[in-house]
Structure 1
Amino acid sequence: MEHYLSKNPASGPNSKTRTEPLVKVITAIATLGGLLFGYDTGVISGALLFMGPELQLTPFTTGLVTSSLLVGAATGALVSGSLADRLGRRKIILILAIIFAVGALGTALAPNLEVMLISRVILGLAVGGAGTTVPVYLAEIAPANRRGQLVSISELMIVTGQMLAYMSNFAFNEIWGGEHTWRWMLGIATLPAVLLWFGMLYMPDTPRWYALKGRFAEARDVLNRTRAKEDVDWEMMEIEETMTAQAQEKGSLRDLRVPWMRKVFLIGVGFAFFHAATAVNSIMYYAPVILQNTGMSTNAALFATIANGVVSVIMVMIGILLLGYIGRRKMAALGQIGCTCCLFLLAAISAFMPEHIGSEVNLLRSYLILGSMLLFLCFMQGAYAPVIWLMLSEMFPAKIRGICMGGAVFALWCSNVIIAMSFPVLLASFGLASTFAIYGAVGIVGIIFVLKYIPETRNRSLEQIEHYLREKYDEERVMKAQKRQKTARQAG
């Protein structure tokens, strides 16, 4: 392993070359998928306040409207991963842009609950597909020394989309108000979907996908356009060494019979599940509902929710900078521990501070809950969120990267479905304090998982990560087998 890592000590993660202009253009266009991801998941927080009477929503159907997108997202993640391996990352993003536009128009024009649910599922297919495909596309096309920052821009665009959703929710309510405001909130997402489609028409696919299909000349051509001249040969050599054998047969779920591949996949699935189980989306989707529950007016709750978006954007920017100095594993642990502590803080404030002082609403309690939500987002967006999409896009073997990414993101969205469906019901049944305490208890399990299983992938090319994890887990398997044999001999 050391020999492999030292072949090109001045290349890869250690290269000092600047990012080529085409890579920046590709990142700007592809991450419109992240912007749509963020807007379409964030806009529902404000729209729910207005669509209730027209669609006759109950606490259960409110959860259904919110989680229907997540059900679609789980399906989209699972399907798009394997399709991206088969058809290419670029083609899938083009298809997703069309689905984004159709879903946005469907939700905006929905005449009843049934059409709204169908449209939200369609929109979810695009959201899940974007969460799976865009990070992989960026990870495979980015130079190794800039991969962390460029892939994390997708997360920046997600939270920017959520911030724009909160701002548009407030603006539409201020300018037009009325019961049909929610339709404009949902429909405006059609515009970036059209931009994404037109932009991706002119973008290349990734060199690693071309190589996986045995199209090495096209892979080199993309490298020539996206790398400094001195980095092309060594990266092409690494890709060829890793991909030549894999290009002979199509990757499939059968590859998960290989012990080290199966372990990496399961770690990715667990990582994605516990990230979503922090209940971040209960805060992002239901922030106005939570603040209304504490006594804030509708307008004040919508305005205060903008702070969630602003803090998220600022903290993701800080997180992207930290990726250049702190290991992925440390950032994940910091995010998981910090988010879990904030959930218990929210539970404590909700439980021990009175809702009313005399006949007046205790606004101090409302603002402390808002402050705790913002602190939660500092840990989530500044440490955890930049790492999750990055690590999932880089830790899986090239042969089944799309399949594994799809499975992991499927687990993430399944966790989100549970959170989105359970939150309104738990809130109505047990109140804020018990709801956040339950999520905090799940967070403790997540802390144990992250500390025990998450590997470090910083300062390695994608090919080096694959070699490192294969050798690491193969060695662990051998050591466990030897330990069992020694125990058996001692017992005999």
Structure 2
Amino acid sequence: MNKNAVIYISMIAALGGFLFGFDTAVISGTVESIRSLEFGFGLTSGELGFAVASVLIGSAIGAWYAGVAAMKFGRVKVMLIASTLFSISAVGSALAVNLWDFSFWRWVGGLGVGIAAVIAPAYIAEVSPAHLRGRLGSLQQLAIAIGLLVSFISNYFFANIENSPNADLWGGLLAWRWMLLVEVFPAVLYGVMALKLPESPRYLVSKNKLEEAKKILIKYANEPEPELKIKQIQNSLGNLEEIVSIKNVLAKKTLFAPVVWMGISLAFVAQFTGINIILYYASSLWSAVGFSQGLSFAVPIGTTTIGVLMTVVGMLYIDKIGRRKLLLIGSIGMGISLWITGFIFMKANQVEGNLVLSPELSWSALISAHIFYIFFCCTWGPAVWVVLGEIFPNKIRTTGLGIATCANWIGNVIVTWTFPPMLQFLGLAPTYLFYGVCCIGSYFMVKHFIPETGNKALEEMSYSFEKP
């Protein structure tokens, strides 16, 4: 096996995860600007929630159809579609003139995010040998974490060129608009690099391109008996036309439905850990508890740097410890750290409508929130995408992954859209305590419904998982 070759193509596929992370976090630096009447669109808290959530609505739709598109056109062509959508969105959202214009272009970018979220883990799982699949599958989450980091660094750079995210920079565009526009560069790179990728051998077998599939299995998966592997893939695919439609996959009459609902549950619950409220609203959250504007932009850079490092830790252990055990550890760690953060915020005072913590408590809140993020990045972050890439049988992998990822984005929409009103009417402390309860609930969901998927050939994955 050419180990370097399979790592290389997995890294290219994971560029979609980089854009996923970049697009997810870039909004953090623009929240206060687009809310502003002077520099943005003069939004209410509900409208702000919609503006932030529009990308997530697009992501849900993109994920829903990505699986079926990948079955029809191939994984690589669908990556090229995602690259195009990211590029168009970057330009359109940077030049938007009102809420609806801005939300539409963010929605277009969301289509790309949803597609990338489905295709990368499916493709990496299908080209990787079983003993490397956990680590290579985790490249998706590592790329997301790096995308988050680069986005926060980019936001910090543009916000500090003239010490304001609302400064008038080049081309008559405000700094916050440049934060959005710069995404066009990695988006184009993603498309160019995707052109170099070999197609998934499972897709090629489904299209009866057996010789091409054989070459890829030998080169990237080190298959000693590629003809036998192709036969196993053919058997696992069965009569493809009978099952790949979304309606059939979800129907109770098919025995694949239990596996699909496992994937839906895991993906949906992942959003209710509260991870994205910290990412999307990072700068405004830390401003709210007394950090200066410059520091509130800088803190997320430190956060996401830790995230990248902790994702690497998760990658190193996911094949040793197992996916399921990582999820269970993460649920407990995230829940406790969110509760601690919430209790700290309960001690904040209200001064002219703003939360004020003492310096000691401000840093305590920062530390406990980072402990939450550490637990997420080395457990749920990589493990969820690896499990979703593995759990579905060949016949329904991209369709099932698309449905599960759609559920993930629907959960993301709910969390993101409801967070500003929750913050306004309940306050920061009850909101954090609520998501802490959700994290503890996720422990019991994983314990009773999610099987271990590590160290199995993809052809072994079936609907007959027994409850662990």
TM-score relative to the length of structure 1? 0.88
Give the match for residue 223 of structure 1.
Answer: 217
Matching of residues 329-340 of structure 1 within 5 Å: 329-340=324-335
Distance 1:107 1:401 in 2: 33
Question: Could you list the runs of 5+ residues in structure 2 that have no partner in the other structure?
Answer: 167-173
Counterpart for residue 28 of structure 2: 45
SS at match of 2:455: coil
CA distance in 2, matches of 1:471, 1:165: 39
The DSSP-based 3-state class of the residue aligned with 1:470 is coil
Q: Which moved more, 1:189-198 or 1:228-237?
A: 228-237
Residue of structure 2 in register with 1:63 after alignment: 49
Q: Distance in 1 between matches of 2:202 and 2:260?
A: 19
The verdict on how the C-alpha distance between 1:441 and 1:215 changes in structure 2, with shifts beyond 3 A counting, is same
SS of 1:374 mapped into structure 2: helix
CA apart distance, 1:330: 0.5
The answer to whether 1:246 aligns with 2:239 is: yes
| Partners of 1:188 and 1:65 in 2: CA distance | 19
Instruction: Give 1:465 shift.
Output: 2.5
Check the 8 A contact 1:132/1:405 in 2, yes or no: yes
CA–CA distance in structure 1, aligned partners of residues 206 and 338 of structure 2:
43
CA deviation after TM superposition for structure 1 residue 32, in Å: 1.1
In 2, Cα distance between equivalents of 1:319 and 1:203: 26
Q: Residue 139 of structure 1: CA displacement?
A: 0.7
Q: Is the 8 A contact 1:349 1:368 kept in 2?
A: yes
CA-CA distance at 1:169 after TM superposition: 1.0
Say which SS state the counterpart of residue 111 (structure 1) adopts. Answer: coil
**Aligned-pair distance for 1:471?**
6.0
Distance 1:296 1:231, change over 3 A: farther
Moved more, 50-59 or 190-199: 50-59
Of 145, 154, 169, 1:159 maps to: 145
For 1:199, the equivalent position in structure 2 comes to 193
Q: Deviations over 1:17-75 (max 9, x none)?
A: x5533322211221111111000101111111333322212222221111111111111
Q: Deviations over 1:424-459 (max 9, x none)?
A: 111111211111122223333322111110101111
Cα distance in 2 for residues equivalent to 1:422 and 1:70:
13
Whether contact under 8 Å (1:156, 1:316) holds in the other structure is yes
What is the aligned partner in structure 1 of residue 184 from structure 2? 190
1:211 has 2:194 as partner: no
> In the aligned structure 2, how far is the partner of 1:436 from the partner of 1:448?
20
Aligned to 1:93: 79
8 Å CA contact 2:80, 2:191 repeated in 1: yes
- Name the structure 1 match of 2:271: 276
CA contact (8 A) 1:214 1:247 kept: no
8 Å CA contact 2:272, 2:438 repeated in 1 = yes
**CA–CA separation in structure 2 for the residues paired with 1:227 and 1:441:** 42
One-letter amino acid of the counterpart of residue 239, structure 2: Q
User: TM-score w.r.t. structure 2 length?
Assistant: 0.92
C-alpha offsets along residues 135-192 of structure 1, whole Å, 9 cap, x if unaligned?
Answer: 1011111111111111111110001000111111111111234411111111111011
How many residue pairs were aligned?
452
Q: Does residue 441 in structure 1 map to residue 437 in structure 2?
A: yes
Runs of 4+ aligned structure 1 residues displaced above 4 Å come to: 247-250, 353-356
**Deviation digits for residues 182-239 of structure 1, max 9, x if unmatched?**
1111111101111111111221210011112333222112213323363645533432
Equivalence for 2:364: 368
Counterpart Cα distance in 2 of 1:261 and 1:337: 30
Instruction: State whether residues 68 and 244 of structure 2, in contact with CA within 8 Å, keep that contact through their aligned partners in structure 1.
Output: no
Looking at structure 2, the residues matched to 70 and 247 of structure 1 have their Cα atoms a distance apart, in angstroms, of 30
Amino acid at match of 1:85: M
What is the DSSP-based 3-state SS (H/G/I as helix, E as strand, rest coil) of the residue aligned with 2:319? coil
The aligned residue for residue 22 of structure 1 is: 5
Distance across 2 between alignment mates of 1:229 and 1:162: 36
- Contact 1:85–1:401, Cα closer than 8 Å, also in 2: no
Instruction: Write the deviation string for residues 226-261 of structure 1: whole angstroms up to 9, x where unpaired.
Output: 233636455334324423x23475622324435541
CA shift, 1:354, in A, is 5.1
Choose which of 284, 287, 295 in structure 2 pairs with 1:292: 287
Equivalent residue letter for 1:170:
Y
Distance 1:50 1:382 in 2: 33
> Which of 242, 261, 264 does residue 259 from structure 2 map onto?
264
1:102 equivalenced with 2:98 (yes/no): no
Distance across 1 between alignment mates of 2:233 and 2:11: 25
Distance 1:279 1:169, change over 3 A: same
Preserved CA contact (<8 Å) 1:315 1:378: yes
Q: CA deviation at 1:461?
A: 1.0
Q: Note if contact 2:12-2:193 (Cα within 8 Å) is conserved in structure 1.
A: yes
Between stretches 438-447 and 187-196, larger displacement belongs to: 438-447
More helix as a share of residues:
1
